[in-house]
Amino acid sequence: DDLNRINFIDGDIALLEAIRFAKTNGTEVILASKVGYDKDRNPSTFRVVPHPRILDSNQTPYIAQVDISKDIDGIQRLYPIFNKVSMADTNYYYTLAVSSALRFRDIKDDKKPTVDFNNYSMNVGSNLDIPIYGRQQYFLINYYGPRSHSFKTFRKYPLVNILDTIDYLIGNLDSAFCFDSFIEEPDPIYKSQKDCESQEDYYWTTDYDSDWMDMYINPSHELYFIMKNKNPFKDKIVYIGTSLAEDHDFKDTPFLNYQGGTFPMPGVEVHANATQQILDQNYISYPLGMLAKESEYYILHFLIIAIITLFTLIVVIRLEPFTGFLFVVSELLVWLSFSIGLFFNDFIWMIKMIYNSIASNPWAINIPNFNESAVIPVIFPAAAVIIPYGINLSYKLIVESNNKRFLKESFGAYISPDLIDQMFDEKQEPKLGGDPGYHTMMFSDIASFSTFSEKLEAESLLRLLNEYLTAMTDILINNKGTLDKYIGDAIVAFYGAPIQIDDHEYLACRTALSMNQKLYELRQKWKSEGNQWPEIVHNMQHRIGINAGNIVVGNMGSEMKLNYTMTGDQVNLTARLESSAKQLGITIQVGENIYNKVKDRFIFRDLGKVIVVGRNQSLNVYELIANKNEISDDTKLLLDTFHKGLDFYHNQEWDKAIESFIKSDKLEEDFPGRKTNPSRVFIIRSKKFKDSPPGKDWDGTFALDSK
């Protein structure tokens, strides 16, 4: 009922009278308008202006557009100089900030705005130039700070204070209504005079009808002569608006997140920032132009992006992915730091920020003077860094995947996956030719394999051989060995190539002992399969020769077909160690280089010096028995007895040597297929030398007469 009795025409008349009063006393009034939309109208867009009752007078106020659109990301960075109702509209309607500045500077707006594309500015009115952002009718807002509120970027006054004259009694109004409902006022509300910092503060309380505005405009007010020169509205542009959440007129600005809080800005303050910027001529420059398809700087932008892209690509191509990532991050930080420094006109701002985070006395970051702020593109140059890095990384991943697959296809059957990965990491590619180096070699062979061929059908023999070779090869590769080739039942392998590895002598010995254990397990398996295999299979033995020396390893053959193999005198010697093990009745025979390297990690039997067939130089040879801590008491007694006899042997005390070797022979292990053993061999040699002494200069060498 109360609303029905309200005559809104009276409100319009009161507003019109206020406008006339203001203009009569030298104050220009600008009312807001905006572009409306109605799908049922033609055209559908139209200009929404105040009621004609207000406009139809000799004191017609100015009208300005308050429409301001956000950027695509929702941030309010741009402010329009003018708006048009539609594309077909030939009229230009100045926005609130521009119209306010024209009125305040008393600049006539009797002509349409014109654009100077040479200087990228728009001439408004008779002599107001506003730099534009690209070809559009916008300029970048150079915000003076976050929303006013407690930061006081602009002074804000509650409407209740403006209305508070002698004609209005507002002392009984609730303070929350006075201040929170209209506008958030940061200044304190004092309840008693003794709590007030000044007389003005005391009059600004809700316990007392202060007639706040009368202090500035009413000569009869007791504080008028003190406050009249402090009128906060004198020679100012005053915007009347609300910051009510219900109005939904809040804008996200670059100060949205500030000092740990979220502060959307009321739309009226965006207009205030733009207006102050025009009055101060405090514009943001953009030396590299606007990054847009309509920009005149597109050639420069293309060159900048091309240079950054090319530079990034040239560098990251030569770097590993992680190092390239660090370079790209550094490049982005440099560009970001430079762009922010250009805006602040302070290129050491980041140093100051870091210093401030650890020091107690702050080092202030520069606040640029008017027209000192500049912006340069950030996103596109950043993309020019990230995209080539991403392309290069993707390319490398694809190429590396193909290369690794190629290596695995080339070497997967010969070396372990770990070594393939190491080859790939060290960028070693197969090539024709060999590389000399110090490596460990291994030969293994099944004892009496020709007999197996006689006893088994071809299919069974092949199945047996494949099972044996698969098991032994797995052990070899798991111990970082490289399979050279299969020669029938024989395995040829080496260590330390194509990738150099440490401890290859140890790995070879460990491989040989593991092969012995695996062969024992296979024999048990074959026995458990009953009559499927003859007894010779149940008792299968093999021999292994191990040596270390300088050889050449690499791809040998022709350009059409390569074979990754080894060659050299030490290779032949290793083959002789394997074959001569048969004469001694032992399983694993190693050369002196192997023994000298790993003698503290394994148990060996010294077999003296020999000259193998095809060589003139002698070498010490040894039987590999077991790991260091795996020797039994019986084996220890055997070795002690044998080595005691060997000492007599070297001293040419033949009878004592024969006696010791006879004792050790009784301790030797006896297994099927073992026709001799080292003790028996040295008994024969001792008797031979007893009958035909070798002479005083003899060094213990025995020349083998067969392979």
Domain boundaries, the chain: 1-155+233-284, 170-231, 298-397, 427-610+618-628, 632-707
Q: Are the beta carbons of 442 and 512 closer than 8 angstroms?
A: yes
Q: Which helix (H) or strand (E) holds 645?
A: helix 633-650
**How many alpha carbons fall within 13 Å on the CB side of residue 551?**
25
Which of 547, 522, 521 shows the shortest CA–CA distance to 533?
522
Q: Cα–Cα distance between 537 and 522 in angstroms, integer?
A: 10
pLDDT of residue 428: 59
Which of 357, 377, 147 shows the shortest CA–CA distance to 257?
147
Give the pLDDT confidence of 15-33 residue by residue, as tens digits: 888 888 888 888 889 999 9
Considering all CA atoms of the chain, what is the largest pairwise distance in Å, rounded to the nearest integer?
149
**3-state secondary structure string across 513-537:** HHHHHHHHHHHHHHHHCHHHCCHHH
Q: Give the residue with greater pLDDT, 325 vs 9.
A: 325
Q: Are the beta carbons of 567 and 437 closer than 8 angstroms?
A: no
Give strand ranges (E) for 180-310: 250-251, 257-258, 261-262, 265-266
Residue 73 neighbours by CB under 8 Å, 6+ apart: none
**427-610+618-628 maps to which CATH number?**
3.30.70.1230
Query: Beta strand pairing status for 128-131 and 121-124?
Result: antiparallel
Q: Cα–Cα distance between 430 and 198 in angstroms, integer?
A: 90
Average pLDDT over every residue of 376-403? 87
pLDDT of residue 446: 95
Q: Cα–Cα distance between 545 and 445 in angstroms, integer?
A: 9
Give CA 227 to chain center in angstroms. Answer: 62
pLDDT classification of 206: cutoffs 50, 70, 90: very low
Q: Of 181-190, 216-225, 424-433, which range is least confident?
A: 181-190
Query: Beta strand pairing status for 138-140 and 78-80?
Result: antiparallel
pLDDT of residue 162: 83
Q: Cα–Cα distance between 701 and 609 in angstroms, integer?
A: 5
pLDDT classification of 166: cutoffs 50, 70, 90: confident
Q: Are the beta carbons of 606 and 624 closer than 8 angstroms?
A: no
Percent of the chain with pLDDT over 90: 42
Average pLDDT over every residue of 64-75? 88
pLDDT of residue 196: 44
Helix and strand counts by DSSP (H, E) for the chain? 25, 23
Residue 181 neighbours by CB distance under 10 Å: 15
Q: Cα–Cα distance between 374 and 287 in angstroms, integer?
A: 7
Degrees to nearest 5, angle at CA 323 with 322 and 328 = 95
Q: Of 232-236, 369-373, 441-445, 578-582, which range is least confident?
A: 369-373
Q: SS3 for 554?
A: strand
Tokens of 313: 């690509």
Sign for the CA dihedral angle at 291, 297, 302, 307 comes to negative
pLDDT for residue 293 is more than 60: no
pLDDT classification of 409: cutoffs 50, 70, 90: low
Torsion-angle region of 614 (φ positive above 0: left; ψ -120 to 50: alpha; else: beta) = left
pLDDT classification of 43: cutoffs 50, 70, 90: confident
Q: Cα–Cα distance between 22 and 467 in angstroms, integer?
A: 108
pLDDT for residue 136 is more than 60: yes
Which of 162, 161, 149 shows the shortest CA–CA distance to 206?
161
Average pLDDT over every residue of 484-494? 94
Q: Cα–Cα distance between 589 and 700 in angstroms, integer?
A: 18
Residue 88 neighbours by CB distance under 10 Å: 8
Q: Cα–Cα distance between 469 and 177 in angstroms, integer?
A: 94
Give CA 78 to chain center in angstroms. Answer: 34
pLDDT classification of 216: cutoffs 50, 70, 90: confident
Q: Of 107-111, 153-157, 403-407, 476-480, which range is least confident?
A: 403-407
Q: Cα–Cα distance between 488 and 449 in angstroms, integer?
A: 9
Degrees to nearest 5, angle at CA 310 with 379 and 347 = 50
pLDDT of residue 190: 35
pLDDT of residue 329: 93
pLDDT classification of 176: cutoffs 50, 70, 90: very low
Residue type, 307: I
pLDDT for residue 185 is more than 60: no
pLDDT classification of 457: cutoffs 50, 70, 90: very high
Which of 651, 626, 652, 653 shows the shortest CA–CA distance to 639?
626
Burial 682-706, CB ≥16 within 10 A → b, else e: bbebbeebeeeeeeeeeeeebebee
Whether the upstream peptide bond of residue 693 has omega within 30° of 0, thus cis, is: no
Q: Which helix (H) or strand (E) holds 111?
A: none
Give the pLDDT confidence of 532-558 residue by residue, as tens digits: 999 999 999 999 999 999 999 987 777
Residue 150 neighbours by CB distance under 10 Å: 12
pLDDT classification of 369: cutoffs 50, 70, 90: confident
Q: Cα–Cα distance between 476 and 479 in angstroms, integer?
A: 5
Residue type, 517: Q
Q: Cα–Cα distance between 15 and 225 in angstroms, integer?
A: 29
pLDDT of residue 38: 87
Q: Are the beta carbons of 494 and 482 closer than 8 angstroms?
A: yes
Q: Are the beta carbons of 164 and 320 closer than 8 angstroms?
A: no
pLDDT for residue 195 is more than 50: no
Task: Kindly write down the DSSP assignment for every residue of 343-382, as one continuous string.
Answer: HHT-TTHHHHHHHHHH-SS--PPP---TT--B----HHHH
Q: Which helix (H) or strand (E) holds 255?
A: none
* DSSP label of 485: E
Cα–Cα distances (Å) from 205 to 39, 157, 190, 192, 225, in that order, read 50, 14, 6, 8, 21
Q: What is the mean pLDDT of the chain?
A: 84
pLDDT classification of 429: cutoffs 50, 70, 90: low
* DSSP label of 194: G
Q: Give the residue with greater pLDDT, 413 vs 584.
A: 584
Q: SS3 for 139?
A: strand
The model's pTM is 0.57
Q: Are the beta carbons of 622 and 595 closer than 8 angstroms?
A: yes
Q: For the chain, what is the radius of gyration of the CA atoms?
A: 49
Alpha-helical (H) ranges within 529-611 are: 535-538, 569-584, 592-598
Residue 127 neighbours by CB under 8 Å, 6+ apart: 107
Q: Packing angle between helix 379-411 and helix 298-317, nearest 10 degrees?
A: 30
